[in-house]
Amino acid sequence: MEVEVCGDESAATFTFHNEDHTIGNTVRYMLNKMPETSFVGYSVPHPAEPKMNLRLQTVGPPATQVLHEALGNLYQVSEHVLKTFEAAVAKHRTEQGAPELR
């Protein structure tokens, strides 16, 4: 993975190498949900090229900083999903009795 940044402070295009829609769409979503964002979009220029471009225009703060924050949010969301899921599995196990393993 590799990240290239080009553009000025408040707008930038980030190129993610070896990434696709998985990260593209989630990061786009997290950015779109931030009040600092005025425009965000991503594209995979060619399906055979392992590359993803993300364009970000903020309302003022540096684009890299906003992207950083979005990635932080994404990490925290995943962390919470993991914690909640593990708790739900544990709860299910105690309610149902442990399922047969293998």
Which positions lie near another protein, rule CB under 8 A? 1-5, 14, 16, 19, 21-23, 25-30, 32-35, 37, 64, 67-68, 71-82, 84-89, 91-93, 96, 99-102
In this complex, which beta carbon is closest to another protein, that of residue 45 or of residue 89?
89
In this complex, which beta carbon is closest to another protein, that of residue 43 or of residue 82?
82
Structure tokens at 51: 């590359």
Nearest-approach distance from CB 40 to another protein, in angstroms: 9
Question: At which residue do the structure tokens 């540096």 appear?
Answer: 62
In this complex, which beta carbon is closest to another protein, that of residue 45 or of residue 81?
81
CB 73: neighbour CB atoms within 10 A?
A: 15
Sign of CA dihedral 28, 32, 36, 39: positive
